[in-house]
A and B are shown apart, each in its own frame.
Chain A
Amino acid sequence: MATHTLTTPKQNQTVEDKIQHLRQLYADAPEFAQTALENTLKDLAVTASQPRSRMESAGRTGVRQGTVSELTVIAPLARGGAERLRALLQLRNGNFDDTDRVGTVHDMRFVFLDNDTKLLFATAYDGDWDVYIEDFVAKIPNEMDVLFSCWEGWPGIHNPKVKDFIANHQITAEGWYVAHPDLTVRDVQRVKRVGKAAEEFLDKIA
């Protein structure tokens, strides 16, 4: 600990407090968990003092790292909503390629919870979604309504209350790892294209 010259004494104290608190909490955990904590504490303390990227607010709710934001919504399913959504997903057969058109979605997932009574929808995307909501309404209203009408109380994408619906059911992630917070979906496409061309070029001149 004495060799951590990068951190100020005040920061060290906060980390120490947190470690003590953690140890107290883990005193009630299974023994393998306590062992695991002791084994990882040294690395954790280093991590705590110098994170590569920090989480910031993504707007009304949700968090953001660099250029990527997360949106996690859990909402009750409407009557028949689970069956409808499941049938839609089965028709798609895992193919969501048409989402490429949006251009800013890194990933999204649909997870049925609690015996098909709730749906978790989670996505990571670039920029701000509410800046583009009117564009989604204009260009892909059917795609949004056919999916999200599975939720109880979904007002329909044309209803101005739709932003409130999402915000009211959105839960901010408290922990989130992003491998490349500085790369948008379009950046990745561009980097892939340039990388491929560079590899071909190197092959040619080798």
Chain B
Amino acid sequence: MLSIEEPAGETLATRSPALETSDIQATVLRPRPKPYCGEYVILRIGNAGQAREMLRRILPHVAPADEWWVPSLPGWLGIAFTFEGLKALGLPQASLDSFPIEFRQGMAARAETLNDFGANAPANWEHPFGTPDAHVALAVYAKSNEDLQKVLDLARKSHHDLQQISVVYRMQFGELPDGRNPFGFKDGLHNPHVEGSGPAGDGTAASTKPGEFVMGYPDERSETAVAPIPEELRRNGTFVAIRKFHMDVAAFRRYLRAQASSPEEEELIAAKMVGRWRSGAPLVLAPDRDDPALGSDGKRNNDFGYADDKKGLKCPFSAHIRRVNPRDALNDDVVAVNLHHFLRRGTNYGPPLPEGVLEDDGAERGGVFLLIGAHLHRQFEFIQSQWVTDGNFISHGTEQDPLIGNNDGDGVFTIPRTPVRRRLHGLPRFVTVRGGEYCFMPGLRALRWIANLGQ
């Protein structure tokens, strides 16, 4: 049952109940381990009974958030289901019908809302993303390959003798040297802090109400989820938008080379596009040159807002981090940014492109992101459609995110500057969507409820 902490001086009325971290999956609340490696696996269910048997076997191994620091396994396992997967598991029709429309339609069918067209169109996605065959998604993390294999082995044993459960996708992921992303940037520096989830990591950002990220608790609208039904299914569950991205590092390097007249200028342009220098130092705090000490200081590299940068002279309005997380930049607008956050769990995959190489080597590399929130439509879908693939919210017309927008050789990126702004043209598509799915990531009791269906 709920444990409600009441430190001296506070009342129930002023705080949300503490989160049931023993029931919420670790993947929702915890960052990836350091170092990290792992696998994503997608399963197809051909028989509801066998699927539930698999679930019964795998249940004891699903990592709860309160065991993050001292896991019972040599790694962590998370499990989630697409709508097709929940159907294949034999969920009652009333439950299925109670899920929000965007989840029922699936990410591929929402391409028009998400502006997933051209190279990002679902028709170009890797199989089985976007097809009715993607049912169960497993995320397995570990600190070493040896540990990873032990956990994978347990996962495999949960279904290897069940003929109607098949592996339809597998991919490995792992940290790059230096803990940087394929573009050479320190990544995964910021996430909203979930009230009640444990000690706050960074800076001054206020906690976000837990119901934004986990069902069963009040959200930023002071509402608690009433769907999906029944309560046992939704409590401590949430939605995950899985997005697999390919990163064209060579194209990124070539573009910087073409736009700059020196290596220093290349670094500045790259930082202007991201909103941080490669070390992680935010432009707002280090507008002219990188500050690696700041970049690696977890207490300082997120302690900023845009109140002192109203003209975007330090960090462009169109920079990636300013778009996906506007912080206080939209305070004068009729937008409630606290309704539009998601938790971002990202892992990189593929080998690094060696330093100085400007031609693509054909290797698959990039990042897989689990974008977590209890309201797909006003969280992931809102950010993607309003802040990433459009520029009107910052008076930039149809200009898109320089990194992940739909730039197809005709992209534009505006860098505010005095006396005259600089505008880059001809941005290619640096990041391409290789596939994605909307998943429901249930709490541990809910997993048991699903496993016990039909009994």
| Interface residue ranges, A against B (CB under 8 Å) | 67, 101-104, 126-127, 131-132, 134-140, 184, 186-187, 189-190
A102 to B336, CA, bound (A): 12
Interface size on B (CB < 8 Å)?
16
With an 8 A cutoff between CB atoms, is B362 at the interface? no
Nearest-neighbour CB distance to chain B for A128, whole angstroms, equals: 8
Knowing A184-B397, A187-B397, A190-B397, the reply to whether A135 touches B335 (Cβ < 8 A) is yes
- On whether the beta carbons of A139 and B335 are closer than 8 Å, the reply is yes
With an 8 A cutoff between CB atoms, is B332 at the interface? yes
Q: Please give me the 7 A-B residue pairs with the lowest Cβ-Cβ distance, nearest first.
A: A138-B336, A186-B395, A139-B334, A135-B336, A102-B334, A184-B392, A135-B335
Knowing A131-B386, A134-B378, the reply to whether A101 touches B334 (Cβ < 8 A) is yes
Knowing A131-B386, A189-B395, the reply to whether A103 touches B333 (Cβ < 8 A) is yes
Main SS of the interface on chain B?
loop
- On whether the beta carbons of A186 and B334 are closer than 8 Å, the reply is no
- On whether the beta carbons of B334 and A135 are closer than 8 Å, the reply is yes
- On whether the beta carbons of B382 and A131 are closer than 8 Å, the reply is yes
Nearest-neighbour CB distance to chain B for A196, whole angstroms, equals: 15
Chain A's closest residue to B336 (CB) is A138
Instruction: Select one of B332, B339, B390, B392 contacting A135, CB under 8 A.
Output: B339
- On whether the beta carbons of B392 and A186 are closer than 8 Å, the reply is yes
- On whether the beta carbons of B334 and A134 are closer than 8 Å, the reply is no
- On whether the beta carbons of B386 and A138 are closer than 8 Å, the reply is no
With an 8 A cutoff between CB atoms, is B325 at the interface? no
Nearest-neighbour CB distance to chain A for B119, whole angstroms, equals: 24
New contact pairs (12) apart from A139-B334, A186-B397, CB-CB < 8 Å? A101-B333, A103-B334, A127-B386, A127-B390, A127-B392, A134-B221, A134-B378, A135-B335, A135-B336, A139-B335, A190-B395, A190-B397
Nearest-neighbour CB distance to chain A for B279, whole angstroms, equals: 34
Chain B's closest residue to A183 (CB) is B397
- Which residues from B are CB-within-8-Å of A135? 334-336, 339
A131 to B376, CA, bound (A): 12
- Which residues from B are CB-within-8-Å of A137? 221
- Which residues from B are CB-within-8-Å of A101? 332-334
List 29 A-B residue pairs with CB atoms under 8 Å apart, sorted by A's residue number: A67-B392, A101-B334, A102-B334, A103-B333, A103-B334, A127-B386, A127-B390, A127-B392, A131-B382, A132-B334, A134-B221, A134-B336, A134-B339, A134-B378, A136-B334, A138-B221, A138-B338, A138-B339, A139-B334, A139-B336, A140-B334, A184-B392, A184-B397, A186-B392, A186-B397, A187-B392, A187-B397, A189-B395, A190-B395
Nearest-neighbour CB distance to chain B for A20, whole angstroms, equals: 38
A127 to B115, CA, bound (A): 13
